[in-house]
């Protein structure tokens, strides 16, 4: 009997594994596995979301006009070059499907975000990786990886799960080294956390070139992961393509309303950024004092390398933390089996994390 079969390549896709949120039998859960904003969204965003509940019988604004204008004003961008999506994941997927296909290559760095190989394969293209140097994207290695089949380069800047970043000059050098036919996608999911002077998420590069796109999200510093809202800033030709292929109502009205209010509450955003900086520094220092290797991070998470000894390695640490209800992210599938990625939580959560890891490192 014949059965429907998916396109060639679809069954080669490894499903994305989301961060753990369950720890059966644990006293309580501290979820540090998905780089969410532990202090939550602005109360004004939650109020706007609730208010939107009174209008659910209406379709959302298909063009997200008010939201795009507000994003443009906040980041000094051109609203006409912004497209909103159901999470930045949706926009990354639509870009891959629109610009890469069978026989093409999609290039990204060794420890690049795991969505990239998934969406490359979904579009029928071959994912290709370039080595990193010292847990940081290596521009020369990416340029060396370009072939006549390369259609797209994805660069998470800052990187997930490494937490490192490329300074603007390096991103410019990458862009200049790419053929004009290759679309460079700058994924700035964590951009709002970066305070380094030599960092820029890439809006200027989009304005100056016709082969650069920047993607951003409301899932991280704005604390709206559950609503699914991302956006991209792109040249007019790319905007035109995305507006042809996206769902006409891909961003719900509660998501648009909440995001607008979140953008306005700059005091809340600054509070989140400051708290993240404080507790990232404290956590990094405490874990280093335990003898763990903490990679420098500009994001809302840290990557921690554990010793090789089987009773203190990353797998054992993950099991020990999980038994105590503290959920980090294993990153063996990012090629980093000796490390865990840990989201920066609240002061209380980081205190519990450090206390549990202290017990873990002290046990024989």
Ligand X SMILES: Cc1ncc(COP(=O)(O)O)c(C=O)c1O
* Residue 160 or 284 having the CB closest to ligand X: 160
Of the ranges 4-12, 81-89, 232-240, 273-281, which one interacts with ligand X (CB under 6 A)?
81-89
Convert residues 229-268 into a mask of x (bound to ligand X by CB under 6 A) and - (unbound). -x--------------------------------------
217 binds ligand X (CB under 6 A): yes
Q: Which is nearer to ligand X, 88 or 356 (CB)?
A: 88
Minimum distance, C-beta of residue 53 to ligand X, in the bound complex (Å): 22
| Region 152-181 residues binding ligand X, contact defined as CB under 6 A | 156, 160
Torsion of CA 153, 147, 176, 87, to 10 degrees: -10
Q: Concatenate the DSSP letters of all residues of 266-298 into one string.
A: HHHHHHHHHHHHHHHHHHHHHHHHTT-EEPP-S
Applying CB under 6 A, among 98, 225, 346, 358 the residue interacting with ligand X is 225
Q: Site residues for ligand X, window 281-310 (CB under 6 A)?
A: none
Q: What is the CA radius of gyration of the chain?
A: 21
- 187 touches ligand X (CB under 6 A): yes
CB of 297 to ligand X, least distance (A): 13
Other Cβ atoms within 10 Å of 324 Cβ, number: 20
Residue 37: CB minimum distance to ligand X, A: 11
Of all residues in the shown chain, the one whose CB is closest to ligand X is 87
Angstrom distance (rounded) from CA 244 to CA 252: 18
Residue 170 or 187 having the CB closest to ligand X: 187
The CB density around residue 348, as the number of other CB atoms within 10 Å, is 10
- Interior CA angle at 81 toward 238 and 129, to 5°? 50
| 2 contact partners, CB below 8 Å, separation of at least 6 | none
Instruction: Name the minimum Å distance from CB 5 to ligand X.
Output: 29
For the four alpha carbons of 252, 256, 257 and 261, in that order, the dihedral sign comes to: positive
The nearest distance, CB 217 to ligand X, in angstroms, is 3
Segment lying near ligand X (by CB under 6 A), choices 48-56, 84-92, 246-254, 317-325:
84-92
Strands of the sheet containing 230-233, edge to edge, are 82-85, 230-233, 212-217, 183-187, 150-156, 105-109, 126-130
Q: What does DSSP say about strands 339-343 and 301-305: parallel, antiparallel, or unpaired? A: antiparallel
For the record, the structure tokens of 9 come out as 């390549």
Taking the least distance from each CB to ligand X, the nearer of 172 and 189 is 189
Closest contact distance (angstroms) between CB of 251 and ligand X is 11
Rounded CA-CA distance 92/97 in Å is 9
**CB closer to ligand X, 276 vs 286:** 276
- Pick out residues in 85-124 that bind ligand X (CB under 6 A): 87-89, 113
Q: How many CB atoms lie within 10 A of CB 150?
A: 22
Nearer to ligand X, 71 or 357 (CB): 71
Q: In terms of CB distance, is 93 or 283 closer to ligand X?
A: 93
Q: Angle at CA 262, nearest 5°, toward 248 and 80?
A: 45
19 touches ligand X (CB under 6 A): no
Residues at the contact surface with ligand X, assessed by CB under 6 A: 35, 87-89, 113, 156, 160, 187, 189, 217, 219, 225, 230
């Amino acid at each position: 009997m014949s059965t429907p079969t998916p396109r060639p390549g679809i069954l080669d896709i490894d499903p994305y594994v989301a961060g753990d949120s369950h720890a059966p039998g644990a006293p309580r859960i501290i979820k540090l596995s998905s780089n969410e904003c532990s202090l939550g969204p602005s109360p004004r965003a939650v109020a706007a979301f609730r208010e939107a509940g009174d209008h659910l019988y209406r379709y959302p604004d298909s063009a997200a006009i008010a939201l795009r204008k507000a994003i443009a004003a906040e980041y000094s961008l051109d609203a006409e070059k912004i497209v909103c999506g159901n999470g930045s994941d949706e926009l990354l997927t639509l870009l891959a499907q629109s610009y890469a296909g069978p026989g093409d290559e999609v290039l990204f760095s060794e420890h690049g975000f795991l969505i990239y190989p998934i969406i490359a394969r979904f579009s029928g293209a071959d994912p290709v990786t370039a080595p990193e140097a010292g847990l940081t994207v290596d521009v020369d290695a990416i340029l060396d990886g370009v072939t006549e089949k390369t259609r797209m380069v994805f660069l998470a800047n800052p990187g997930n799960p490494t937490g490192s970043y490329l300074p603007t000059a390096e991103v410019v050098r990458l862009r200049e080294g790419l053929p004009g036919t290759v679309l460079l996608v700058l994924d700035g999911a964590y951009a709002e956390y970066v305070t380094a002077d030599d960092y820029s998420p890439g809006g200027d590069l989009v304005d100056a070139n016709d082969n650069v796109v920047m993607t951003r999200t409301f899932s991280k510093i704005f604390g709206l992961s559950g609503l699914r809202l991302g956006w991209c800033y792109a040249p007019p030709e790319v905007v035109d393509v995305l507006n042809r292929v996206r769902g006409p109502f891909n961003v719900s009205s509660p998501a648009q309303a909440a995001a607008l209010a979140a953008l306005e509450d700059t005091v809340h955003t600054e509070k989140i950024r400051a708290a993240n900086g404080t507790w990232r520094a404290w956590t990094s220092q405490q874990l280093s004092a335990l003898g763990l290797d903490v990679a420098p991070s500009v994001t809302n998470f840290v990557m921690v390398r554990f010793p090789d000894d089987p009773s203190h390695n990353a797998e054992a640490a993950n099991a020990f933390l999980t038994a105590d209800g503290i959920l980090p992210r294993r990153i063996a599938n990012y090629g980093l089996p000796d490390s865990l990625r840990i989201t920066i939580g609240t002061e209380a959560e980081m205190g519990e994390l450090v206390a549990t890891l202290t017990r873990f490192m002290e046990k024989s």
